[in-house]
Each structure stands twice: as structure tokens, then as C-alpha cells.
Amino acid sequence: MKLLAIETSTPACSAALFIDGEVYERFEIAPKAHTQLLLPMIDSLMADAGLRPQQLDALAFSRGPGSFTGVRISTGVIQGIAFGADLPVVPVSTLAAMAQDFFMQHLIDTAFVALDARIEEVFWGIYQRNPEGYATLSGIEVVCPPASVNIPELAGAGIGSGWAVYAQLLSDRLTVPLLELDAERLPRASAVARLGAYGFGLGQAVSAEQAMPVYLRDKVAKTEAERLAEKQTA
């Protein structure tokens, strides 16, 4: 199988090619430079592999949660490639990609993933390694204050920027001490690619127009008309 994956939902920007089980990646931490970096990364990977988009079997992208602008960039780019090459797309959770990347480097089977969502909230999800080695969501992903997260009585690792920003508030929710803390981990396209290939085999691919972002918040951005209406009714 040949699959192209991209990830731009945090300060990290990356693209990866999954080719019959092998993964090739371009990765760079470059806040606010995703639009300049992403397409050259894709072109470089495809050129090195001697592939054209039409020779791929599918695409995958990090559909959020994460930076509003970053998630929109990945969605727009993947939709453009999918429409142009008539390819199916596998949406992959940003939090799942972080957990998958962690699982591939550690023997710990549970990840408490927290991304800083600003305004004193975190994007939160609990992932566990399934028998096939892939990150599987336990419960649901939410956006909430760190003092409100639900952490079951499981031994696991805390990963993501939320643990750096709200270390004490999240730690107060623990009933079992963390096995490891990895607050610096960022999502990578290589993990998105592996989860995308796995999801493709499970029938999770969608059409280009159905490849939509997930922000978790009901309202990420408001129009000027909405803001004006709120002021008038306040």
C-alpha cells in the first residue's frame, strides 16, 4: 500500500509516505511556517519515491484537534490533493497520532494525551494500545478545563503540551502515579501515516469532500456579524 500523510495541527509541520509498511518522513518544528514548508515536503517525498499522486492508494491527515489555522491548512491541502488525484482520505485524530508515536517507542500501553487548547482548557483523550499495536480511543475526546478531565484508575503516561502548562491541575486528577511524563511530544505525520494505513484497512476512508476538520469546540471562530449580535444582546 502507498499512502501520503500530513500533519500541521501544532507548531510541528510534517509529511510522510507509507510504502508497504515502510515510512519516510519530513519533520520540522516551525511555528507559522506550515504553508511554506508543507508542499515542498510533500514534493520531496514523492520525488524521492518516484511517485505521482495518482499512484497512491490513499491519503491521511491529522484532522484535529489542534491549532485552528494548522488544522485548516492540513484539511485544505489534503482535500486539494484528493480532488486532483481522485483519492480516498483517512482522517486521523491528532491525539491518536501522538499516542501512536509514543507507543512505538515505549512499552507502556495507555496514554493520557493533553494538548494545550488555550483559554485555560486542554484537548483531552485517553488512548490504549490494541492487540495489533495501534492507538485506540477509550471513551471520547473532549475540550475542557484541566481540573475537569476524567482519568481512570489505570497506569499510563502523560503526553502532550497540556501536561507542561497544567502539570499540577492534571496531576491532581490522577489516582495512579504516571509511569512516564512526555510533555514535549508533538504529533508526527509518520504516526498519522501508520494509523491512516491501518484505518484504510478497516474501511475508514472517506471522500475528499467528507475529509473535514474536528475542532472539538462548537465555535472556534465567530463572524463579525455574530460578534455584533452578541454585543447588541449583552
From first to last of the 234 residues of the chain, give the pLDDT tens digit.
999 999 999 999 999 999 999 999 999 999 989 999 999 999 999 999 999 999 999 999 999 999 999 999 999 999 999 999 999 999 999 999 999 999 999 999 999 999 999 999 999 999 999 999 999 999 999 999 999 999 999 999 999 999 999 999 999 999 999 999 999 999 999 999 999 999 999 999 999 999 999 999 864 443 334 434 444 444
Is 68 found in the same domain as 11?
A: yes
Is 13 found in the same domain as 90?
A: yes
Number of domains in the chain: 2
Examine residue 149 and state whether it is found in any structural domain, yes or no.
Answer: yes
Judge residue 82's burial from the number of C-beta atoms within 10 Å of its C-beta, 0-12 exposed, 13-18 middle, 19 or more buried.
buried
Examine residue 234 and state whether it is found in any structural domain, yes or no.
Answer: no
Is 90 found in the same domain as 196?
A: yes
Is 63 found in the same domain as 41?
A: yes
Is 84 found in the same domain as 19?
A: yes
Is 152 found in the same domain as 80?
A: no
Which residues span the domain enclosing 138?
95-182
CA distances from 77 to 38, 125, 136, 211, 212 (A): 9, 26, 26, 11, 12
C-alpha cell at 39: 508542499
Gap between the Cα atoms of 97 and 137, Å rounded? 11
Whole-model pTM above 0.85?
A: yes
Is 172 found in the same domain as 123?
A: yes
Residue linked to cell 492540513: 74
Residue 82: how many CA atoms within 13 Å on its side-chain side?
Answer: 25
